[in-house]
Structure 1
Amino acid sequence: MPPREAELTDPQARLFLQEAWRALEHAGQRTADLAGTRCGVHAGVMMNDYQDLIERTSEHARLAQVMQGNSNSLLAARIAYHLDLKGPAVTVDTACSSSLVALHQACQALWLGDADMMLVGGVTLYLTELPHVFMSRAGMLSPTGRCRPFDAAADGIVPGEGCAVVVLKPLSRALADADPVHAVIRASGLNQDGRTNGITAPSAASQARLIGDTLGRFGLDASGIDYVEAHGTGTPLGDPIEVTALNKVFAPAARPVGSVPIGSVKGNVGHTSAAAGLAGLLKAIGVVRTGDIPPSLHCTPHTLNPAIPFGEGPFTVATERRTLPAAPGGRPRRASVSSFGFSGTNAYVVVEQAPHRPAP
């Protein structure tokens, strides 16, 4: 990319390029060998305020590279262009659920035979004051500047910035190619809230339907989920609705109160918007790989939000580091990940411990 083009390209697109390359290297893929292959790219991105910054400050604001460098449609296509990839390249914007929606769609591309390998990512950077101004005027931001999922003092979101990219292959092919396998996507699904009491308001009924339908479609049930990585934004409205929805699915499994740990990475890194779903996925992958659950921050057992119906289901907030007990029957560990967009588009994924492979 020439220097002028790079200067005028959205830093989100630049960061996605870097992380996509790094993900391929980490996956043991020789980028030179990917030319002409059916490798696809699905990327979640929510907004772009860099063009506003260019308009204010750059003498080059009318160059064609501004249009090309700040079109979200090119964010996924750019890495496909540079590496000559022939699989589907799609940019996804469903707001906060964008990256997990991208993951679900990438899984479908693999299941349906549209691709042999997929790059999936999400990225959010805030480059001017405008997103913060808009979120503040919408009443979304925490006035204390601290994200407190599930806590009685939860008072709003804290924006975070981030980029995450993962590489997906069908498990049989990854094993045959001796690729490093960190986890298995065991199930995924999407749905929409439809009409609620406001276009950005969540729906407990839709969330519960998505979770129950996804588990059932993939032959799973709530008794087989060992850890729940919640959307968990730390808002007085969202957290109680989410746990209410989870209870509706998990309570019939008759698991004891306090037996299923739940957490939210947003207490650790903030709400990374379009990257938030993959941030939760990466945490869940760490849980199923190691069996260790990192603490969900800024919440204690003594300060739980009383509006959250923890007594009506099996969940307990993982406020301290803990280790999962061995799964019944020697089955692999499993964790679920939820991501809900203020667009009303909801995504749900179950990730499973990778199969054991003997050392070579």
Structure 2
Amino acid sequence: MLAQVLRTVRQSAGIDLDPSVLYEYPTIRLLSEWLADKHGASFSLGAATNPEEEASDKDKGILGATQNGREKQPVQPTPEPKSAPVPATAVRTGTGPADIAVIGLSCRFPGAETPDGYWRLLSEGRSAIRTVTRDNWTGGAADYAGLLDCSRTMPASHFRLSEEDANAMDPQALLLLEESLKAWHHAGYVPEEIKERSIGVYIGARSRHEPDEASLLQARNPILAVGTNYLAANISQYFDLRGPSVVLDTACSSALVGLNVAVQALLAGEIECALVGGVSLLVSDKSHRLFRQRGILSPEPQFHIFDGKASGVVLSEGAGIVLLKPVAQALIDGDRIYAVIKGVAVNNDGRTAGPAAPNYTAQTEVMRQALVRSGKQPEEIGYIEANGSGSEVNDLLELKATQAVYRKAGGPPLCIGSAKPNIGHPLCAEGIAGLIKLVLMLDRRGYVPFLSGHTPMKHFDIGASPFYFSREHQEWAGPRAAALNCFADGGTNAHIILEGWEELRGLDALRRPLPLPAMEPDGGPGGITGLEGTDDSQPGEAESEPIIWESYA
């Protein structure tokens, strides 16, 4: 329908309309007012010439404002989303009671088995997207994806699970257990220290796991295989955590909606610490077939964002975990702080042209809400980790909304980028992938190359805008604060403001990342098997020393 509107406007008035305008002005009244204001002369030749036509001007919408040569009524500009400006009293220096510290993290993404591997992939400007070769995917059109080499590297027995239960379980659940253990060790905690504590678990995920009948019959605890809640409950049970255990599904924004719930619980004093994560695995070509049917699957292995070649998404998989505490408590506990969450906001698009159609007003509003809550001014934000949809309209709207919030009144240049050209679109793990990327950038004080945006967009001139792309790994320039966009199918939007941690403290006062416990080949304590010490090791390769990631040394 919207394509027909564009075609009609082009044929009747000769205007090659920016398609995102239809989302900025999503009703006939708003669109007709905007057209009359910006292109009124182009429509005057098609004016009605009789009273009956004049009487129906209101219903005709687009042509109604300039009928019969009448003087056009003053057009009221489209109102900006209702949001109070950032009051001077809201601007904080240093930390405040609402600041939340990221004290530990872990992740596995395509081409990256650890946070260090993820950082190398990003900083070296590499893409892990490749042709799919999995045996259980159907033939036909070539598929491309960002895939993990394997989704399980630790024996199930380490998590007090039988192999029979593990074989029947959703592999996402086992991946989350592994990454949760790694995150705690990254933060400098062993499981005995967190036992029976009020720690909440908030996982963004979607599970449609249907084990085969034989595996289910052999399982000792078949409920573990079919209960979606166990994606989070397994973590709470293994570590003996007493806070809430929640699984959320808002599609791409799932993990960040979980983060929002966790932050609220931390600020209310309901929990003392939160484990927040997201996961998505591609166990078949079902998602590819669905995205292809929708017409939004990229036909090539490049994920083009803010680029004239944008042609759809490249799907991927992965998992990530972050550990959160109020900054004040993290300092008391001697935690290493990697970044600080200053503001979080979540909303929904409401009714739009379709379940996946964006809402410009809602996008700007969620950004403004997070910015106000952060106490930051727009010019203090030095980087935007974009959602990036790989479609002309969605990418145009995101650029316009971001500019309207962060640089409408001018200010320093604003760097913008996305991890999707590096790893693809990891569905429910998208938000956590962007968050961990930002935490690493802030902690390591550097920008990373953006792999897309080389072909100019038809309706948005990046060169004439406040935005620019980093093309190399370089030192962070300007304020060390950043924002993260995440817009999802179904309309649930999330926006996060983060800041680098500046305070210097004696190294002896900080918790240090710990090596993972060793494993025996049979899954008991002892030697290591099935674990990877660096991204160069091979799955299943035995190691003689406990794992110490590079950032732990």
Above 0.5 in TM-score? yes
Partners of 1:157 and 1:114 lie apart in 2 by: 39
Query: Is residue 2:495 matched to residue 1:348?
Result: yes
Give the superposition deviation at 1:214.
1.7
**Residues 204-219 of structure 1: matches in 2 within 5 Å?**
204-219=360-375
Residue pairs, 1:107-126, within 5 angstroms: 107-126=263-282
Report deviation, 1:63.
Answer: 6.2
**Aligned partner (choices 6, 22, 28) of residue 188 of structure 2:** 28
Contact 1:39/1:118 (CA < 8 Å) preserved in 2?
yes
Structure 1 position 17 matched with structure 2 position 172 = no
Q: Measure, in 2, the Cα distance between the counterparts of 1:122 and 1:304.
A: 33
Larger Rg: 2
- Range that drifts further, 80-89 or 314-323: 314-323
Encode CA deviations 1:158-186: one digit per residue, 9 max, x unaligned: 01110000110111111111111100111
Q: Give the one of 461, 475, 494 matched to 1:323.
A: 475
Secondary structure at the residue paired with 1:72? coil
Please tell me whether the aligned partners of residues 223 and 253 of structure 1 are also in contact (alpha carbons under 8 angstroms).
no
CA distance in 2, matches of 1:111, 1:26: 24
Report whether the alignment pairs 1:176 with 2:176: no
Give the aligned partner of residue 5 of structure 2.
none
1:186 match: secondary structure: strand
Give the equivalent residue in structure 2 for 1:134. 290
**SS of alignment partner, residue 122 of structure 1:** strand
- Shift, 1:68, TM fit: 2.6
Q: Distance in 2 between matches of 1:311 and 1:194?
A: 33
Partner of 1:337: 484
- Give TM-score, length-normalised by structure 2: 0.60
Q: Partners in 2 of 1:240 and 1:46 — Cα distance? A: 28
Q: Is the Cα contact below 8 Å between 1:223 and 1:250 reproduced in 2?
A: yes
- 1:246 — aligned with what? 402
Which residue is equivalent to 2:82?
none
User: Which consecutive unaligned segments of at least 5 residues does structure 1 have?
Assistant: 328-332
Segments of structure 2 that go 5 or more residues without pairing to the other structure are: 1-160, 509-553
C-alpha distance in 1 between matches for 2:451 and 2:464: 23
Work out which of the residue numbers 274, 280, 296 in structure 1 matches 2:450: 296
TM-score normalised according to structure 1 size: 0.91
Match of 1:230 among 380, 383, 386: 386
Q: Which residue of 1 aligns with 2:262?
A: 106
Partner of 1:284: 438
SS at match of 1:59: helix
Does the 8 Å contact 1:250/1:314 carry over to 2?
no
**Alpha carbons of 1:309 and 1:111: their partners in 2 closer, same or farther (altered >3 Å)?**
farther
Distance across 1 between alignment mates of 2:165 and 2:505:
47
SS in 2 for 1:342: coil
RMSD: 1.7
Provide the C-alpha distance between the structure 1 equivalents of 2:197 and 2:497, rounded to a whole number of angstroms.
28
* Aligned match for 1:273, one of 427, 442, 449: 427
The alpha-carbon deviation at position 326 of structure 1 amounts to 4.1
1:308 is aligned to: 460
Identical columns (%): 35
What's 2:215 paired with? 60
Q: What secondary structure is seen at the aligned counterpart in 2 of 1:60?
A: helix
CA–CA distance in 2 between the matches of 1:150 and 1:298?
7
Aligned to 1:260: 414
Amino acid in structure 1 at the alignment position of 2:450: S
Per-residue CA deviations over 1:125-182 (Å, capped at 9, x if unaligned) read: 0101211111111112101131011111011110111000011011111111111110
Cα distance in 1 between the residues matched to 2:463 and 2:207: 39
Question: 2-side partners of 1:317 and 1:70: how far apart?
Answer: 44
Q: Tell me which residue corresponds to 1:45.
A: 205
Aligned partners of 1:242, 1:30: CA distance in 2, in Å? Answer: 42
Question: Displacement of 1:219 after TM fit?
Answer: 1.9
Post-superposition CA distance 1:77-97 (Å, at most 9, x none): 111011211111110100011
Residues 173, 241 of structure 1: alpha-carbon distance in 2 compared, 3 angstrom cutoff = same
In 2, the alpha carbon distance for the partners of 1:70 and 1:346 equals 29
Q: Distance in 2 between matches of 1:351 and 1:59?
A: 47
Q: 1:240 touches 1:309 (CA, 8 Å); kept in 2? A: no
Counterpart code for 2:179: E
- Name the structure 1 match of 2:72: none
The SS at the match of 1:189 is strand
| Rounded Cα–Cα distance in structure 1 between residues aligned with 2:363 and 2:461 | 16
Q: Give the aligned length.
A: 346
Please give the alpha-carbon distance, in whole angstroms, between the structure 1 residues aligned to 2:292 and 2:207: 16
- Greater shift in the superposed pair: 223-232 or 286-295: 286-295
Q: CA deviation at 1:21?
A: 0.7
Greater relative CO (CA pairs within 8 A, separation 6+): 1
User: Aligned-pair distance for 1:69?
Assistant: 1.8
Question: 1:318-351 CA distances to partner (integer Å, 9 max, x unpaired)?
Answer: 2333333243xxxxx1010111110200011011
Helix, strand or coil at the partner of 1:107? helix
Residues 283-319 of structure 1: per-residue CA shift (max 9 Å, x gap):
111222222111111332xx13223354674211223
Deviations 1:212-271 (A, max 9, x none): 122113322211101000011322222111111111112334115xx1100000011100
